[in-house]
Amino acid sequence: MKTIFLILFLLFCPLIAGYGAVSLYNTISGAIKKGKETPEKPFFLRVCTAFPIGVCIMLLLAGICNVLTVFVHLDLSAGKKLFAALLIAVLTVFYFVLVISRMAKALKKLNNPASSAEKSPAPGASSEAAADTESGSETRSKKDGSKLIPILITVSALLSGFLIFLALKGYADYSGDQTLETVNSFISTGKLYSVDPLTGLPYTNGYPSRLSLMVLPFFYAVLCQTFSVSPMVLLWYIIPVYFMITGFMIFVCLGDALFKERKDKLIFYMICVFLLLCTNVSIGSPGFDILHAGFRGSTFLNIILLNLTFCFCIKKKWVACLLPVILEPLVASTAFGAGAAFFVTVIMFIISKLPLFRKLTNDTPSGKGGDAS
């Protein structure tokens, strides 16, 4: 039963955090752009955008609590309480931001009925022409939808089989990884980095401070202790499926940022999924990581953080790029604190200033990027 509560926690907390963060970002950017309203995306696309952002926000909060727990010398129970308090506070703020933004949009529609009247067709011949155009677009959309049914079935079957394979597969030993042992040592001792995870003996010469910044072992230990879930079940089965679904959502967002036609978006999504599966060739490749070591920080970096950074950069959401840039040193080893997400952001920012990029994205030197949602 507690495993079900764990899954519900992993699903709803990122949704609330992601929706609130996107709403807050759009509100601030709309105020900066002097009241320019961002168009609302379809529901499925809004979910695919909010969920990965919420996952990153949740891990960032866990990273803050992990650093405080390590350097203030708190035990795991105190760190868990600190994380719960911080998460509840942030979710409450984002929830009220989301409610207020929805109420503001509803009031704006009630106070400005003229905008909807302008979109309505004029009487007479113009209404007939509008009806003909509308019926023609409906028939074209139906035809396009019928052509896309086999693609949707193929993708659904592929993802279903992939999920079943992940849920039922045996664990493939990942040489040199100590995540599971580290989580077990946290839970058994109730403290962070008090004993060597391989020998169970106390550290004699201390431990590398860089390793103490890694958030994932702390996050996994908090989940296991809170929901009474075995670390083996969490790391080998739940987290790989969780991160894989999050990565697939980012593929949907990337396709929406790059293409306008639904068919092109679906083709791009299928290509990304097939390429991810086909890279299961060697240890360290993204396909191998998501299949056999989905709990590692490098997997989170390759499947989620870097793709999310590309998505933000394509939409020219440079402020939003700070989220993966700040989170990367907390989930994966980086060179001098500046990781791949930082370099991707810098390179994409330089490329965005080139005339060729503006031509490909149908942008002008004074144009703005897409909305965060």
Among candidate residues 259, 372, 367, the one with its CA nearest the CA of residue 320: 372
Q: Per-residue pLDDT tens for 188-247?
A: 888 888 887 777 778 777 677 777 788 999 999 999 999 989 888 888 888 888 888 888
Residue 151 has a CB neighbour count (10 Å cut-off) of 14
Q: Per-residue pLDDT tens for 155-174?
A: 665 665 666 566 555 555 55
- Helical spans, DSSP H, in the chain: 2-32, 43-71, 76-111, 113-119, 125-168, 179-189, 209-212, 215-227, 231-233, 239-258, 262-278, 286-292, 297-300, 306-314, 322-331, 340-352, 355-360
Q: Give me the phi and psi of 275, to 5 degrees please.
A: -65, -40
How far apart (Å, rounded) are the C-alpha atoms in residues 203 and 212?
13
Quote the distance between the C-alpha of residue 74 and its chain's center. 30
Among candidate residues 24, 29, 36, 25, the one with its CA nearest the CA of residue 93: 24
Q: Is the pLDDT of residue 134 over 60?
A: no
pLDDT-derived band of residue 10, with 50, 70 and 90 as boundaries? very high
According to DSSP, residue 332 is labeled S
Among candidate residues 373, 325, 329, 330, the one with its CA nearest the CA of residue 349: 325
pLDDT-derived band of residue 309, with 50, 70 and 90 as boundaries? very high
How far apart (Å, rounded) are the C-alpha atoms in residues 166 and 140?
38
How many CA within 13 A on the CB side of residue 75? 6
How far apart (Å, rounded) are the C-alpha atoms in residues 19 and 24?
9
Residue 50 has a CB neighbour count (10 Å cut-off) of 25
Q: Per-residue pLDDT tens for 85-112?
A: 999 999 999 989 888 888 877 787 777 7
How far apart (Å, rounded) are the C-alpha atoms in residues 231 and 235?
6
List the single range of 6-15, 303-312, 352-361, 364-373 with lowest mean pLDDT.
364-373
